[in-house]
Amino acid sequence: MGKYIAVLGGIVSMAGGLALVIVSATFRDAFVKLVEGFIPPILFFGGLIGLIAGISSIKDAQRTKKLEQEAAAETAEKK
């Protein structure tokens, strides 16, 4: 379940980062611009890392399940 939450969280973070990049053009205060300048990329790339980690975890789980099934089939054939 955590794998899917990581993928979903990654997608949400990426979308939030892109939305903040679009919205940040409307503010003029220097501090706000500074904050808005580094938060969106952090959210976007953090989300990207979460998405990649979630997909990798899902693939690993599928590979492990497949190997366990193959091992069980080989054991059954030997009997």
Say if CB 73 and CB 34 are below 8 A apart. no
Domain that holds residue 54: 2-78
Per-residue pLDDT of 14-52, as tens digits, reads 888 777 777 766 655 666 777 778 888 888 888 888 888
Cα torsion 11, 16, 18, 20 to 10°: value is -170
- Domains contained in the chain, number: 1
Helix (H) or strand (E) holding 21: helix 2-23
Give the global pTM.
0.56
Per residue in 26-36, is it b (16+ CB within 10 Å) or e — as a string?
eeeeeeeeeeb
